[in-house]
Amino acid sequence: MKDKKLVTFLILSAIALYINVGSYGVVETSDARYAEIAREMVISGDYLHPNLLDVHHYHKPPFTYWVTALGYKIFAINPFGARFFLQLAVLIQILLVYLLSFELFNNRKTALWSAMIYFSFPIVLISSRNLTTDAFLTMFAVLSIYSWVKYRKTGQWRYFYLFTFSLAMGFLTKGPVIFIVPIPFIIAYNTTEKAKNGFSIHHILAWLMFLVVASSWYLMLLKENPGFIDYFLGRQTVDRFSKNAFNRTEPFWYFIVLAPIVGLPWLLLLPILIKTNRDKFTKRSISTALAFGILIPLVFFSISSSKRILYILPFYSLLAVLIAEFIPIMKVKMSKTINNIIFGYAIVVFAGFAATQFFEYDIVIPGLAVVAGVFMILISILIYSSKKMSYQSKVVFNSFVVSAFLLIAAGHIMSLNQLKVNSPKPVTDFIIKKGLNDRDIIVYNTRKPSIAFGLNKSIISLYDGSIDLARETQFEQDTVWKQYLIDLKKDDEVARLKDVLEKPTVLLVYKHPLPNDRLWLIDGYENVKVMEKWSIYY
């Protein structure tokens, strides 16, 4: 790479991303769910049919499971292996944001600032610690946008093929949602950059490649069972948008309120930057194209019934580029003001971290928090008072330092408070330490893939009304799954459970005590170990 500063920045980002990524167990719900599905793929060798706790789970296309399974092949089945490629996806996003910004503005400093701003968004840090489809989808979305810009500027067909291929891989990651950010941007961007090519056979071939790659997994399943058409188009597409199909409904204003919070500190400054650069938003401008790629997806996701904060991650790449476009042209007075705001933000974060040692919390805070906080305050002051750096550079570097620190500190704190952050690794470690892992592990009325992952074995879930255990079993081709999901509301299955309980087992009860009519479940156990919300009977 020509830009040594970019290389340094990527190395520092990689250190921050990887340093604590395997120090704590998988976290319920999404992190554990994706990690466990990939584990079951590796164990079974079946990479076509995703399984969650031994029941088919077709909620998402398989790319995230496949790449996570590859992590297990390289690093073994553990949290680091589960999250390895997730961090790599974030690093690739950072690089792509840099490349996209450089293509749009032909300025390496602006491109570097774009990448650093993107890394500093809290939503990006959250995505790096939560194994879901969203980071991988964002990687392909940004790749598709970058490829289109390169194709439009150069007319080289290889970039058009890369464009359709990245869309296809995004489709294999999360389905049609891959189009939601790239298409609005592309439509607006095309008004700023004339096409270099007329219609060609390459257009046909590239879109044929898209269809083959994007539909490959779906067609293989449809060949087995035509019922998948209704499932994917209805249940997993239309119902997710229009209904509360998976208990993820939130009010319309959900993203409007949370987007600035997970975009701190930059989204609080964005209105000021836009106001002072109104002339940039002309009918045919890059600024307008970037705004289209942000606002239209925001409206779409706000209208959609299903909402999770990481859904909006893809358009933060365009936000970073838009903000970086305005920074070099800020007037001195504005630069000083924003530098003061970012510096104040950094001091509040670091001082707040240091002050944790003077208050009592229900979580464990590292003893070196004061030292770390004070040290980071000094770093921030050095950046703020530097005579060699411009005000614009100070703003970007201080925000990067805050984010890198938060990422490293958060990983360490999570490792010290695993049960508090919903990672039951201490529970599975206890079972293994006691030599109980060869027994049947039974979990009462809650779906906990983290337990199966931590023990690296199948577990038995007892359904007693929990909505999480109301599994979709319409695609099961045999009854093997019934060994791992027992319905306590059916007498014949209760009888089957009693046969299981004749042998030594371990029963896990989470959060709520057993109801009186289920106390018979613990009659045969001699010992109980309570670990916060968990009760372990053995």
329, 355, 387 — which closes off a domain?
A: 329
Strands 534-537 and 505-510: antiparallel
pLDDT digits (tens, 9 = 90+) for 162-219: 999 999 999 999 999 999 999 999 999 999 999 999 999 999 999 999 999 999 999 9
Per-residue model confidence as pLDDT tens for the chain (538 residues): 568 999 999 999 999 999 999 999 999 999 999 999 999 999 999 999 999 999 999 999 999 999 999 999 999 999 999 999 999 999 999 999 999 999 999 999 999 999 999 999 999 999 999 999 999 999 999 999 999 999 999 999 999 999 999 999 999 999 999 999 999 999 999 999 999 999 999 999 999 999 999 999 999 999 999 888 888 876 766 666 665 555 667 888 999 999 999 999 998 888 988 988 999 999 999 999 999 999 999 999 999 888 999 999 999 999 999 999 999 888 888 899 999 999 999 999 999 999 988 888 889 998 889 999 999 999 999 999 999 999 999 999 999 999 999 999 999 999 999 999 999 999 999 999 999 999 999 999 999 999 999 999 999 999 999 999 999 999 999 999 999 999 999 999 999 999 999 999 999 999 999 999 999 999 999 999 999 999 999 9
367, 397, 416 — which closes off a domain?
A: 416
Q: Are residues 352 and 391 in the same domain?
A: yes
Which domain, by its residues, includes 363? 332-416
Please report whether residue 31 resides in a domain.
no
Beta sheet of 485-487, edge-to-edge order: 485-487, 460-463, 440-444, 505-510, 534-537, 528-531
Please report whether residue 221 resides in a domain.
yes
Closest-CA residue to 249 (of 316, 315, 301): 301
| Separation between Cα atoms, residue 309 and residue 524, nearest integer Å | 44
- Residue 244: predicted pLDDT: 57
- Residue 78: predicted pLDDT: 98
Please report whether residue 73 resides in a domain.
no
Give the Cα-Cα-Cα angle 382, 385, 388 (nearest 5 degrees). Answer: 95
Amino acid at 6: L
Q: Are residues 230 and 295 in the same domain?
A: yes
Please report whether residue 70 resides in a domain.
no
Q: Are residues 387 and 440 in the same domain?
A: no
Per the structure, how many domains does the chain have?
A: 3
Over its C-alpha atoms, the chain yields an Rg (Å, rounded) of 25
User: How far apart, in Å, are the Cα atoms of 325 and each of 105, 270, 320, 329?
Assistant: 8, 11, 9, 8
Q: How many CB atoms lie within 10 A of CB 501?
A: 18
Q: Are residues 351 and 315 in the same domain?
A: no
Q: Are residues 170 and 294 in the same domain?
A: yes
Q: Are residues 251 and 274 in the same domain?
A: yes
Q: Are residues 150 and 273 in the same domain?
A: yes
Please report whether residue 56 resides in a domain.
no
Cβ burial 284-304 (10 Å sphere, 16+ → b, else e) = ebbbbbbbbbbebbbebbbeb
Signed CA dihedral, 270, 275, 280, 281: sign only: positive
Do 330 and 386 meet the contact criterion of CB atoms below 8 Å apart? no
- Residue 79: predicted pLDDT: 98
Give the Cα-Cα-Cα angle 233, 90, 209 (nearest 5 degrees). Answer: 45
- Residue 247: predicted pLDDT: 60
- Residue 165: predicted pLDDT: 98
Q: Are residues 324 and 342 in the same domain?
A: no
- Residue 238: predicted pLDDT: 62
- Residue 240: predicted pLDDT: 64
Amino acid at 340: N
Q: Are residues 127 and 164 in the same domain?
A: yes
Do 443 and 500 meet the contact criterion of CB atoms below 8 Å apart? no
Q: Between the CA atoms of 255, 256, 261 and 262, what dihedral angle is there, to the nearest 10 degrees?
A: 40
pLDDT digits (tens, 9 = 90+) for 501-523: 999 999 999 999 999 999 999 99
282, 306, 329 — which closes off a domain?
A: 329
Do 81 and 71 meet the contact criterion of CB atoms below 8 Å apart? yes
For the record, the structure tokens of 281 come out as 């938003």
- Residue 329: predicted pLDDT: 86
- Residue 243: predicted pLDDT: 59
Please report whether residue 298 resides in a domain.
yes
Q: Are residues 436 and 409 in the same domain?
A: no
Q: Are residues 345 and 469 in the same domain?
A: no
Please report whether residue 378 resides in a domain.
yes
Task: Kindly report the pTM of this predicted structure.
Answer: 0.95
Please report whether residue 47 resides in a domain.
no
Amino acid at 424: P
Closest-CA residue to 82 (of 459, 453, 455, 422): 453
- Residue 269: predicted pLDDT: 87
Closest-CA residue to 272 (of 181, 344, 336): 336
Q: Are residues 319 and 404 in the same domain?
A: no
